[in-house]
Amino acid sequence: MIALNIRNCKECGKLFQYDGVNKICYGCRKQDEEDFKRVKEFLYENPKETMTVVSEETEVCEEKILRYLRQGKLEITGDSPGILLDCESCGKAIRTGRFCEKCAHDIGKGFRSGFDRRERSSKRDSSSAHKMYITEIRKKRR
Ligand SMILES: [Zn+2]
Ligand SMILES: [Zn+2]
């Protein structure tokens, strides 16, 4: 039997074949792209509008627009005081993404050193686990 990776689309709940990257189905992805384009074009022409107006004019919910910003797809320019996005870590006003530069830097550093530690310890662990396993077998044979 071939194991198909079927998931529920995060957007519409329909089952679709998960490709390991996209959490939403093809139809929703297309829709999402179109929504994104509309928001981007609208913001380009009306950079001073607030989130509510952008949402109403483009018929894209605020939640989605926020998501584009969080994903770094959209960026608030200096001329768009109407849209507020804050750093998820310290709450500072940011233009795009989830964290301000400082927090992103700190988090990046934390992730990297954490990963290095994990890498090293997992290598050590697997070899010692292997040795332990061998001694286990030897004990049993005795
Ligand atoms: Zn869908
Ligand atoms: Zn921050």
Select the more confidently predicted residue: 138 or 25: 25
In this structure, which residues have their CB less than 5 angstroms from ion ligand 1? 9, 11-12, 14, 25, 28
At residue 3, the pLDDT reads 65
CA proximity to 74, closest of 102, 104, 47, 103? 47
Select the more confidently predicted residue: 61 or 22: 61
Which letter does DSSP use for residue 11 in this model? T
How many angstroms does the Cα of residue 84 sit away from the middle of ligand 2? Answer: 14
Token duo for residue 95: 């233009």
At residue 129, the pLDDT reads 53
How many angstroms does the Cα of residue 29 sit away from the middle of ligand 1? Answer: 7
What is the pLDDT averaged over residues 86-92? Answer: 93
How many angstroms does the Cα of residue 21 sit away from the middle of ligand 1? Answer: 14
At residue 102, the pLDDT reads 93
At residue 132, the pLDDT reads 53
